[in-house]
Structure 1
Amino acid sequence: MCDRHRVSVTSARARLTRPIAVDLFSGAGGMSLGFEQAGYDVVAAVEYDPVHAATHAFNFPECEVLCRDASNLSAADVLAAAERGFKCLHPGVPWPGRLDAVVGGPPCQGFSTGGKREHDDERNDLLLHFVRLIEELKPPTFCLENVAGLLESKFDKVREEAFGRLRAAGYALSGTDKPVNSLNFGVPQSRRRVIVLGALGDAAPSRPTPVEGEVSVEEALDGLPSPASYATLLDSDEVDLTPEDVERRASIKSPYARILAGLEALPGDKSRPRAWEPSTLTGSRRTTHTEATVSRFAKTELGAVEPKSRLYRLPLDGPSRTLRAGTGSERGSHTSPRPIHPREDRVITVREAARLHGYPDWFRFHTTNWHGHRQVGNSVPPPLARAAALALLGSLGYSPVALRAAVSLGDVSLLSLSRTKAQPVMDALVEELPATRIRKPITQDDQAADAYQAEVG
């Protein structure tokens, strides 16, 4: 998706000090962003859903996005995509023919504690395809992310096979014994995940280093205006802020929110700056609830669950519970359960969910609420991914330099494509589209899934 005739913004020194990575099962790009912030050049991403692949292409215009099912890919396929991405990022520089890190979070619903866990779910096999690609590519390091349920005894067989094969391939592993919680890495959300890091040789990578303190929901949402103030957001996910809201945004007090709003730099950030317009609010399409729903939400205390919809109301002085993704079309198109806003009687917007996940405000998601919330809920919180990436740097010996020249984001039309329209744009194979894996007919399209939220429960 990159412009191969564009002049590179990367210095010669940066080319020598930034490790090269690819992101498998990339989704919208939470893992890619965290690794980029740590100083990696994420030159390629693999994502089989063309809607998510298009979103990744928008946010990472210098990355080669391969819209394919990873279970059907070979090491040669991944390396070819990495070479294309490297040449896009570094025109005129010889491709080194190697990767420093392979990262990814294979779809985890089969292991998830948030729903029905199935030891024979075919998605569990994707973990072993991740392992297969590590065996074939033999990168010096890798990062594997998954849900905490992977460590349950129910999944001993697939887990032990995966970790056993990785060790047999020569990798020393860390993080195989217990999960981490994103709360401990500066994310205002309780989200338990397994982060397995591997390095060739006898020395296992260090574990991701937690940060001090926790971020509250109130701190995370600081400066975001009420979408109810903008009629445009009934039909669009973006709007130009009023002068009053622009001023309010500039006066954000929360250090966490100031960083995500671009008012302060993330300490140690080595990602490519994005050119964007801070006075435009994005990811904020409104959800119109019935009067009965609004009344029920109004009676729900902070931190409590509304009885009929079973939706949880966010607290102000603490973190959010785990944000859920719902299911894709291949699993019935169930809408993600969106928390109730702590101050307003409505469910949260995609932008508010992104703040709770650690995404900067320049990062955009699909324009429909259904896809947008799925993309956030399915992704790795960037601060957690960044902590894992920094831990792997110790095994690689790199000292990445910061990049200063801003890069433009992709074509905004990528964010509103339906799955059918995204397929040719992203060069996806028709036989690998999510819709071909449906076990029962789908009756909801993207807009119908949005409409479902109008009467939650």
Structure 2
Amino acid sequence: MANLGYRPVAIDLFAGVGGFSLGIEQAGLDVAIAVEKDPIHAAVYGFNFPQTHVLCADVSDLTGTHIQQALRDWCDRQRSPVLVSDRDRIDIDLVFGGPPCQGFSVMGKRQVCDKRNLLVFEFCRLVKELQPRYFVMENVPGLGLKKYQNLLNRLQCEFQAAGYEIIQPIQVLSAVNFGVPQQRQRLFVLGNQVGVKPLTYPQPQLQSPSEFCTVRDAIADLPNLDDFTELQTSDSVELTLPQLQLLQALAMPYVEKLRGIISDPFNFAYPRQWNPFLLTSSKRTRHNLASIERFNQTPPGQLESISRLQRLDWDKPCYTLRAGTGPEHGSYTSPRPIHPKYPRVISVREAARLHSFPDWFRFHATKWHGFRQVGNAVPPRLGRVLGHQVIAALGVAPSQPTSTLTLKDPYLLELGQVKASEYWKQKKRQGDFSGLGC
């Protein structure tokens, strides 16, 4: 018999701003702890997930003991203290995360010796120390290339030595097969403790291009940003009632679920309190007249000859949205698609829609950070199907949450590197988050 109403406990390593976390929450698990090294991303995560205990720390500096202490603190705040009163360790149902993938990415240099490749073994180390029932590790398809076979074999051997079975064969999943309007492929390594019910890979829900969710499904309802002078200097604007009513009238079923207009029976996330009149993450990008003319002349699906930006096609999924690099690797900005109708690149909100983020979810107010945060994330809908596999293996039938979460102070969405680092240091001085911080 399924365990009714119970929400299993999960830990997110390499959390970013929480795309994978949101998908796991939507599947019916409680993401108790999230670890993110970058203080700006950690602050944005904290804004969107007020119920999660955020550790702004380098995974390499953490031990299972650190995370167990944070988990006890979380239980004290969120659950009955009885759960931790007589135990040194709290059972964890799932550890998940996507170690930084640039060392394996086909868009990068794909160097076997790239030090970032070693972070997959830090993920493995913490799984070994925490001993969750299940783990899900996400990475780029490049990890499955022949040149990384020895590394992948070593990783599997270490998981097996820690008492885990690896589901074979390791598979690459495409987000477009699971209702995301984006051609985005990711490799997932699934594992379970020996003796528990094994995980299985999800079967594609959509297989024919005629079934795929499209750019039109995702963003056709959004207004023309050029109509709002406020968006030249701000990333948000308050819609009028007629503007909101028009947006809702144009919304496709995909968007109606993202905005909570219609219910989604497969979404068990905690509702967030938000203002549907507020159009967020929509700061305009200024283009010169020559660029605007070239964008106007670029057919759907084609590259603009000078900028090499690709124009989106209303009736097809988006191509893979990439993140670019952080300041430690040159602050490279990835090409942003040209809107299928307007002569401009898409906004952060439009990118988020194409990634399956709901409209209540907010990103950093600076476009460069916002696009990186979207591009680095696991699409929530793709994360959700992996979470459902864990829920099925656990034999849990989660119930819809009855409480609504209040998002944190939008100040967290505007912090630069210095102020974000100071924010987490202040948390450390206050004795919060197990004494850890950036």
- The CA distance in 2 between the partners of 1:253 and 1:246, in whole Å, is 11
Q: 1:177-196, aligned counterparts within 5 Å?
A: 177-196=170-189
2:422 counterpart (421, 424, 432): 424
The counterpart of 1:133, out of the listed 111, 122, 126, is 126
Superposed, which structure 2 residues align to 1:70-219 within 5 Å? 70-90=59-79, 92=81, 94-95=83-84, 97-174=90-167, 176-201=169-194, 204-212=198-206, 213-219=211-217
User: Structure 2 residue aligned with 1:356, among 354, 357, 362?
Assistant: 354
Report the secondary structure of 1:44's partner residue. strand
CA shift in 2, pair 1:433/1:342, >3 Å: farther
Residues 387-422 of structure 1, C-alpha deviations (whole Å, 9 max, x = no match) = 001111232222222102211001110000001110
1:19-98 equivalences in 2 (<5 Å): 19-90=8-79, 92=81, 94-95=83-84, 97-98=90-91
Q: Which residue of structure 1 aligns with residue 369 of structure 2?
A: 371
1:94 aligned counterpart, secondary structure: helix
- The code of the aligned residue for 2:255 comes to A
> What is the CA deviation profile of residues 59-87 of structure 1, one whole-angstrom value per residue up to 9, with x for unaligned ones?
00011100000011111111122222232
Change (3 A) 1:361 1:68: same
The one-letter code sitting in structure 1 at the alignment partner of 2:34 is A
> How far apart, CA to CA, are the structure 1 residues paired with 2:46 and 2:294?
40
**What SS class does the counterpart of residue 397 from structure 2 fall into?**
coil
Structure-1 separation of matches of 2:437 and 2:56 = 9
Q: CA deviation at 1:335?
A: 1.4
- Once residues 21 and 346 of structure 2 are traced to their aligned partners in structure 1, the CA distance between those partners, rounded to angstroms, is 25
Measured in 2, the distance between the counterparts of 1:36 and 1:19 equals 10
Whole-angstrom CA distance in 2 between matches of 1:185 and 1:223: 22
SS at match of 1:256: helix
State whether residues 56 and 437 of structure 2, in contact with CA within 8 Å, keep that contact through their aligned partners in structure 1. no
Distance 1:356 1:280 in 2: 19
Following superposition of structure 1 onto structure 2, how do residues 392-411 of structure 1 map, counting pairs within 5 Å? 392-411=390-409
Indicate conservation of the 8 Å contact 1:105/1:144, yes or no: yes
Aligned to 2:432: none
**Residue of structure 2 equivalent to 1:10:** none
Equivalent position amino acid for 1:104 in 2: G
Separation in 1, partners of 2:105, 2:23? 23
**Aligned counterparts, 1:427-442, within 5 A:** 427=425
Q: Distance in 2 between matches of 1:127 and 1:274?
A: 33
- Deviation string, structure 1 residues 150-196 (Cα, Å, up to 9, x no partner): 00011112211111111222212226433110010110000110112
Instruction: Please give the alpha-carbon distance, in whole angstroms, between the structure 2 residues aligned to 1:389 and 1:128.
Output: 22
Which residue identity lines up with residue 139 of structure 2 in the other structure? N
- The amino acid that maps onto 1:341 is H
Stretch of structure 1 that moved more, 255-264 or 362-371: 255-264
Is 1:226 matched with 2:224? yes
CA distance in 2, matches of 1:91, 1:240: 40
Residues 196-232 of structure 1 deviation map (CA, whole Å, 9 limit, x = unaligned): 2111125531112322331010011132111111111
- Partners of 1:175 and 1:405 lie apart in 2 by 39
Distance in 2, matches of 1:63 and 1:410, equals 12
Percent identical pairs in the alignment equals 44
2:321 and 2:357 mapped to 1: Cα distance? 13
Distance in 2 (alpha carbons) for counterparts of 1:258 and 1:271: 16
The CA distance in 2 between the partners of 1:415 and 1:30, in whole Å, is 16
Unaligned ranges ≥5, structure 2: 429-435
* Amino acid paired to 1:43: A
Counterpart Cα distance in 1 of 2:364 and 2:253 = 27
After superposition, the C-alpha distances for 1:309-343 in whole angstroms (9 at most, x for unaligned) are 11111111010000010100111111122111000
| Matches of 2:56 and 2:378, distance apart in 1 | 19
Q: Is 1:380 matched with 2:369?
A: no
- Give the equivalent residue in structure 2 for 1:338: 336
Write the deviation string for residues 107-164 of structure 1: whole angstroms up to 9, x where unpaired: 0011111232121111111011001111111111011011000000111122111111
2:75 touches 2:81 (CA, 8 Å); kept in 1? no
- Is the contact made by 1:283 and 1:365 (CA closer than 8 Å) also made in structure 2? yes
CA contact (8 A) 1:176 1:196 kept: no
How far did residue 299 of structure 1 move?
1.5
Other structure's SS at 1:179 match: strand
1:304 and 2:302 equivalent? yes
Q: Write the distance in 2 (CA, Å) between the matches of 1:250 and 1:300.
A: 29
Q: Is the 8 A contact 1:176 1:195 kept in 2?
A: no
Cross-structure match for 1:412: 410
TM-score w.r.t. the length of structure 1 is 0.88
Q: Structure 2: how far apart are the matches of 1:238 and 1:148? A: 35
**Aligned counterparts of 2:264 and 2:140: Cα–Cα separation in 1:** 27
Residue identity in the other structure for 2:306 = K
Code of the aligned partner of 2:265: P
Counterpart residue number, 1:446: none
Q: What does residue 6 of structure 1 align with?
A: none
Shift of 1:91: 5.7
* TM superposition shift of 1:243: 2.7
Deviations 1:417-455 (A, max 9, x none): 0011101212399xx999xxxxxxxxxxxxxxxxxxxxx
**Matched residue of 2:68: which SS?**
helix
